[in-house]
Structure 1
Amino acid sequence: MKTEDIEILVQLYFEGIKTYKEACDFILKQDTKINNELFLLLLAISDSMESLAILSRYNKMRDCYVTSRVIYETILNVLTILSTNFEAMDEMMQYTQDEIAKEPARSIATDSEAVFFTFDGNNHSVGFAKHNPIKSKNPRSWTKHNIPNQINLIDKKYGKVASRSLQVAHLTIYRTASNIAHGTLYGMLQAMGLIHGKEIKSFTDTSMIEHNQQVIATLLLTTLQSTYSLIYALDKEIGLEQFEKGFYETLGQLIHEGQKRLSNKSKETNQTSYFTKEDLERKKS
């Protein structure tokens, strides 16, 4: 795979982003059941998709992984809210209020000293103390549903057209993105292409670039498929047929171009979890 190949995929990815943004603009101007808070999550997805496209052009695979997880989890959250008929929105709102309440006072302590931040509504301040003056519980997840349960809820309402892409995205993105975000050695070895039996002595700049480009291509495919899951569900909920069709067409083009460029990828990338158009099993009434 060459840089020119990635650019072709990125251009198609931007076409998907364009259609998604047009759908968001349509939603904003219509009287739908999408409330303001949920709409903000829709905007967050397009923001991170743009970041992924930009990072892809510069072969920044590690950061592409982390940004892909942001896209995946935000899509998952929106679909969970939709699949529970907005009942999960109450959980999201409560979590948001809890986090806002904790924001004015935060601290971290060692055995010898605590450092704390406070905000009185106008001014921020930093303080130091022998004992931690701020007691707060560790943040909880925003929902009582773990990720498999979230995907199961989505599957029950929208079928595997939506759920399968999320399952693939989870396996493709989640664990590796966590390792990269947490700064582990595994995360860096992944970025250098030194996994699945590869050793440091086999490392070359060329092999790393090739490895990263193959992974980036897969992340572009995987996140756009996940976004289609959301467009598909939104079409079922509020009617976005023109945008769903346009997005699906772009997804098909990206899958075709991606398959063509990934067809001779080496097994070391372990990136085979993308679908053909037929695998999406889209059923239109």
Structure 2
Amino acid sequence: MQLVTEDNITELAVRRWATARDPRTRELLTALVRHLHAFAREVRLTEAEWAAAIRWLTATGQISDDKREEFILASDVLGLSMLVVQLNHRLDPAATPATVLGPFHVDGSPELGFGGDMSDGVAGTPLYITGTVRSLDGTPVGDAVLDVWQADADGNYEAQLGEVDEARLRAKYRTRADGAYCVRTITPKGYSIPMDGPVGDLIRQTGISHFRPAHVHFLLAVDGYRPLITHLFQEGAQYLDSDVVFGTKQELVVAFEPREPGPTPDGGESAVPWVQARYDFVLQPA
């Protein structure tokens, strides 16, 4: 029997987890053990701190449900989500860059027609987001699905509002044969991430801003192309330089241009002032 000591515990644990049958699982778990042990040694982790971390992880799991992913939020604010995005989406510089998914995406959004209104009565200034979806070589990508979602004027996503009768500020759109799309929604506002859970408890112990700049989420999934999860950020918005989840990229910052009442990009008319943002998504072939 080999006695466990401070000097050999890491080697023993790595050796044990190296018995994983799947090579990738073996690589992940043995590396995790090495780095966890190295962290504990570096900071001289106390038993009280270890117990506090366990309680924090437990609370993070307890507050999470099918509409709130506190672990994703934790990953976001620690910069891990964005690092994983960068590692897995080393795209051509001409392609639209990816960013974080965020914790509030909801599957099964309804599909709307060209210029369909996903705000559907939610208060706010009308916003039309228009443009095209194209391949790297400029070829239009027709029938591409854009899954779009955003927060309301109070910074709340549908997933944060409990039970709602129908989809709220989320929808899917398809491009036309020429790659054109038109999204009708309301202008987004910057907002605070949820501060009522374990992640908020951590943030309050720091000088970190807990706000995100105004943005709209997009998820594009098209056969033959790399999937794209990204945002469009409002040019000049507050918090662009201090996004709490590290999601801002200059290429994704677009002008929100005010328009007077009159014709709108979907062929209709607006009786009130509205705003237009233009962006051409460029997809990288798979």
Instruction: Give the TM-score normalised by structure 2.
Output: 0.25
Instruction: Give the TM-score normalised by structure 1.
Output: 0.25
Q: For CA contacts below 8 A with separation 6 or more, give which structure has more relative contact order.
A: 1
Higher helix share: 1
